[in-house]
Amino acid sequence: MLASRLPGLLPPLGDEEALEVTALHSVAGILQEGLVRRRPFRAPHHTVSAGGLLGAGDPPRPGEVSLAHEGVLFLDELPEFPRSALEGLRQPLEDGAIRISRARSAATFPARSLLLGAMNPCPCGWFGFRVKGRTCNCTLDRVKSYRARVSGPMLDRIDLHAAVEPVPIAALMNEAATAESTATVRARVLAARALQRERFLRGETSAPINARLTPGDLRRVARPRKEVRELLQATMEQGKLSARVYHKLLRVARTMADLEGKTAVEWLHLSNATGFRVLDRPVDAEAA
């Protein structure tokens, strides 16, 4: 349910984006209307083949990663997807496009989608949770083996890792409970996107959204103060994190600052960004 709400938080497709999405859906034979104006939401089953996810055929046809272009690609039960399919996503996630070569033809399809994955913490689903009457019965080796189905380089390419706690039954039955609507959150997202576009128009960055900022852009607009840099360095060294994760932490922290309308990246923004890297932590530490 949460995953399906994500496209509603994003701004509407621009004219150029709508044309690209419409062309891709037309090539795939799934176009059901004129110009596509809604951001795509694709949720293939975990039994999908590598060709179905990445693209295949002769002549080549776009796969799910391209059909989700400018929208959301949701992979539920992430570790259950074929390893070859997940590893094949690494390049399009970096480049925003995928090239498919066959004996008689080749094609390059755009693949700038927002990847969203969901997985259990372990095979039984209860590792790390303390819920009355439910305990994890998995060994640490079994938990490690399960999580290793998603490689480290693949996890490096995912900006946020969030642990979602089980919802208590009492909360489900509480009819008086309220939460922010999609429209309320979307307004904050649009305001943050406007700040990012203003920096782009002023020539401070080379892209209108934070997800596409280069390392040089990040040095200009997301460079934290000295004391915050010390925190970042300690976090990187302690967690043995990669250079790719370093830049992702800066992008996430810059986005958190934008959501609050702040000019500078502050300690709390970076602290929260590092908190969204739960799958970088050793399983042994979680068990302790």
Spatial distance between the Cα atoms of 81 and 65, rounded to a whole number of angstroms: 14
Same domain, 58 and 169: yes
Residue 110 lies in a domain: yes
Domain coverage including residue 201: 182-283
Tokens of 255: 């986005």
pTM: 0.89
pLDDT in tens, 253-263: 999 999 999 99
104/31 same-domain check: yes
Same structural domain, 165 and 247: no
By the 10 Å C-beta count (0-12 exposed, 13-18 middle, 19+ buried), 164 is classed as: exposed
Quick: pLDDT tens for 47-84. 999 999 999 988 899 999 999 999 999 999 999 999 99
pLDDT at 126: 86
| Contact yes or no for 13/39 (Cβ under 8 A) | yes
* pLDDT above 90: residue 32: no
138 in the same domain as 32: yes
